[in-house]
Amino acid sequence: MLVIMFDQVAPEALGCYGNPVVKTPMINRLAREGVVFDAAYSNSPLCTPARYCMMTGQLPSATRGYDNAAYLASTIPTFAHYLRSAGYRTVLDGKMHFVGPDQLHGFEERRTTDIYPADFGWTPDWLQPDERVDWWFHNMDAVTQAGVAEVTNQLLFDDEVGHTGVRALHELARDEDERPWMLVVSFTHPHDPYVTRRQYWDAYDGVDIPMPRLNAGDVPLDPHTARLRHVSAMDEVEITDRDVRRARRAYYGNLTYLDEWTARLTSTLTGLGVADDTVVVLLADHGDMLGERGLWYKMNFFENSARIPLIVHSPTRFPAGRVAAPVSLVDVLPTLLELVGEGAPESVDPLPGQSLLDLCVDPSGAGETGQKREVFGEYMGEGAIAPIVMIRRGDLKFVHSPVDPDQLYDLAADPDERVNLAEDSDWAPHLKELRREVDWRWDLGAVHSDVLADQARRHLIGHSLRQGTVTPWEYNPPYDGRQLYMRNHLDLNEVERVSRFPRATGVPDGFLDPEAAPPVGPYDTAAGGI
């Protein structure tokens, strides 16, 4: 199993979801050959909570994965624990935004450190909603300074993640450990800042970059949007059309950058001869508003922020198709468990999600299971002052918070969420039913109290651990150059044997024939690659 994860991707920014100009031929190919989920959601549109949902199959209120400084207890099983128990070799390469001293959470190996802090420094404070913490809150520099750079913090990280991911595939293939494996390669792009390398910027020279369909003045200002505008200082600078186009152009450029890494990873599977025996899952943690409704980044349940791309690629197992039924990140864990099959341990806790394999087998979703699927979401990060919950049922999306007016949208008739039906008396029966569902599913008062108590504990502990000698929780990947390549305490013949894949079988048959045609990778020119 190869899980390729991106950070902050709005599906409509990808060609396979209808974007007419973005250049992502490899992702498009995976979509053509795989199962594409058109209504996949992040259960909590913020990095850490979303990843905890994916890893644990649980909503934030069950794990206390409330925000980007949320601690995930080591007693909560993740899909890495389940697969490892089932006999899989579990490897993490890249970002997962674990917070706390446990930086593995079931992964047997981790190949890189993370890009963001592992301590409690980013803990919000609901008791001071008007306070902006400038050293870690978003501001609009990412938009006003969008453009070109050869090196950024994000590019340095993702270059390492990509190279390490390819190397991990090589090592997993040639290692004499015969266990099946699950590798997660998790990039931080196209997460802001919206800066890309010159070659990817130039790939969009002369391209008419689509602008947002809705500006801030085109829709009423709801209270949570007003709080987000304050939290990210969106009203402190003027965002011009030029700023928007440049930010979106750099964002598209970084998607093309990720597409190339996706091609490297998948062509490596082909070159190693394991592509047909590998299930590839491509997804993101949450979306990006990209200027829609005058908003940027995420942290809300509007479609651009909450929807994610999700593709399952395994042409030898599943027919190509598209799934309209709503699904979400908490469905990933039960999906991986079902892929394992009989060797998978039973889940020790009730799971709110369902396996996606029935929809992979029948992408039309015509079966009873597809029609009954719903998505539930929770948001308790910065910009919230009380729990915000979401229900996606059929074409309806309902967003509720005890401190804000309800929001109800018919996504079939109103995909841009222009009209709040909660204010329409004709929709009162639907609203009543959905409110009843919220009351049955959540004790929002108890959740609110727990968030406040958890924030207070983390603020105290975070401040304490920064005094005197600081012992960081950030993961430090093991690296011993003394054991790499050829050393005189190693047997040269054994080093050469185990380093080669496929293994040599004799001379001259064990050597590749230089006259033979190379294997066709999934990113060759004929396949539409760049």
Task: Name the amino acid, one letter, at 190.
Answer: P
DSSP line for 14-25: SGGGT-SS---H
Query: Given 16, 53, 97, 286, which residue is catalytic?
Result: 97
Q: Check: CB of residue 328 under 8 Å from CB of residue 355.
A: no
Pairwise CA distance, residues 65 & 138, whole Å: 20
Q: Which helix (H) or strand (E) holds 519?
A: none
Closest CA to 483 of 468, 494, 471, 467: 494
Closest CA to 456 of 203, 63, 125, 110: 125
Per-residue tokens: 45: 């549109």
Task: Name the amino acid, one letter, at 35.
Answer: V
Q: How many CA atoms lie within 13 A of 421 on its CB side?
A: 22
Pairwise CA distance, residues 327 & 371, whole Å: 11
For tokens 């799934």, what's the residue? 323
Pairwise CA distance, residues 346 & 218, whole Å: 49
Buried b (16+ CB within 10 A) or exposed e, 242-265: ebbbbbbbbbbbbbbbbbbbbbbb
> Is position 47 annotated as part of the catalytic site?
yes
Task: Name the amino acid, one letter, at 13.
Answer: A
Query: Given 16, 47, 53, 360, which residue is catalytic?
Result: 47
> Is position 97 annotated as part of the catalytic site?
yes
How many of the other CB atoms lie within 10 Å of CB of 455?
Answer: 21
DSSP line for 395-415: TEEEEEETTEEEEEEETTT-T
Please give the positions annotated as active site: 47, 97
